[in-house]
A = this chain, B = another copy of it.
């Protein structure tokens, strides 16, 4: 699929995934509209789209406003649904907001499209969080879904809405289950949205990094450009409709190894401390995903090593970090 002149809507387009998609798609000649509510602490940042600010249409609105969506989806060829509440801790502290953003708004989008633009292609940013604690590794898409927090439950319900609207109404929806995505434009401030952003911020600030547990928990890491590639491949392949796919990496590292790689770029102190109580109960132990299903459909595989990705991430943030926290 040639993206030139394609009309594209990016929900959450000022955020990490959304802004990187916007920049990539503008580069391919697409006509991009960004929707973002700029909710504090959600990652929306005008700085993120500075390379394309004059080349995109910006629509400040909240995806919880279903009537706006009815108009925004009209005439679009592709919608990237990458807006969301992503903090596991905050989903437990305020389950209503998580439900409204991660479930109700996804129904709104699907209903808006069903009524106003049923042929549009929608790519949804799902999450490995819906698996919960792995029963085996690597986790493939057949793994049971047993989310361990409100966020995971709501994201799972949302993903099922996307699948259902494909099966019942024949709509073109694909869900990508993202794992630890990192890179330029990621959300660095706050302490509740994934450790990569927190660690990178602290490393840039020469603050001591605290690793919870024993540091040996294994994770898979995807550099943002590989994830952007995955979204574009998912867009181009119509045989994926109604399906859900893991992303992932062949490079598996412990939190300690991740920290050591970061430390080889930016020298800082770190220590290993016991799990705080509220984190412990929703910790999932080791996780890494099997992305062979998505590879077999699209040929996708991650190209950027963790080391290279971290170097590029630090290069991005270092001179402009004041815009990020």
Contact = CB atoms under 8 A, between A and B. Distances in A.
Contact of A107 (B96, B108, B145, B156): B96
A160 interface: yes
Interface stretch (A161-169, A209-217, A219-227, A262-270): A161-169
Contact of A99 (B104, B160, B168): B104
A14 interface: no
B99 A167 contact: no
Residue in A104, A108, A164, A167 whose Cβ sees the most chain B Cβ within 10 Å: A164
Q: How many copies does the complex hold?
A: 2
Contacts of A95: 107, 111, 161
Interface stretch (A147-155, A188-196, A291-299): A147-155
A272 interface: no
B157 A281 contact: no
A72 B160 CA distance: 33
Nearest to A147: B160
Interface in A121-156: 144-145, 147-150, 153-154, 156
Nearest to A154: B157
A282 interface: yes
A153 B157 contact: yes
Interface residues of A, number: 26
Contact of A157 (B111, B149, B156): B156
A46 interface: no
A96 B92 contact: no
A70 to B, nearest CB: 14
B148 A153 contact: no
Nearest to A159: B153
B92 A168 contact: yes
Nearest to A168: B281
A153 B147 contact: no
A310 interface: no
A31 B106 CA distance: 42
A131 to B, nearest CB: 13
A103 interface: yes
Contacts of A92: 168
Interface in A85-103: 92, 95-96, 99, 103
A145 B145 contact: yes
A111 B92 CA distance: 10
Interface string A101-123: 00110011001000000000000
B111 A104 contact: no
Nearest to A157: B157
Contact of A161 (B108, B150, B281): B150
Contacts of A156: 157, 160
Interface of A: 92, 95-96, 99, 103-104, 107-108, 111, 144-145, 147-150, 153-154, 156-157, 160-161, 164, 167-168, 281-282
